[in-house]
Amino acid sequence: MSDNFFSFSVKDAKEKVHELSAYKGKVILVVNVASKCGFTPQYTGLEALYKTWETKGLVVLGFPCNQFGSQEPGTDAQVQEFCQMNYGVTFPVMAKVDVNGGNAEPVYKWMKAAAPGLLGTEAIKWNFTKFLVGKDGQVIDRYAPTVEPESITPFIEKALKA
């Protein structure tokens, strides 16, 4: 198992390998997203965080996931179009991934182990679960889907100053 976030690579929406080491020295908010979820309007808050803090070193990374109620049924291209058309998303939205189970994206396996959820469970319960990763590549905290992106601002500010 890798020892930090930056040692992983993922695929972007065009299936190109994307090295997470490109974000070394930045604070990353990782979110499993979906376009047909009750929490989908959080795209607005995520984009606002990104726009506000990007120049200070924040990156928001979206990972579409169809494991919860089939709420992300589209292709990677359809997901990208949805994010652009409906929410004006400019932060990176990667290729669709699994976040739970045997085919879970390795970076998600690592983050879940580094920051288990309620009662120590590693499984992600729903879309829009968020992980805040520090400049050192370690998970700072995990936030439930019900946590609005803007409420994470104080933790982002603290991580950016670290």
Q: If you search the block for the tokens 């299936």, which residue do you land on?
A: 15
Q: Which helix or strand (DSSP H or E) is residue 110 part of?
A: helix 106-114
Round to the nearest angstrom and report the end-to-end CA distance of the chain. 25
Catalytic site includes residue 37? yes
Run of H or E including 106 = helix 106-114
Tell the residue number behind the tokens 């049924």, with chain if given: 73
Burial class (CB in 10 A: 0-12, 13-18, 19+), 157: middle
Catalytic residue, candidates 31, 37, 99, 111 = 37
Among all residues, which ones are annotated catalytic? 37
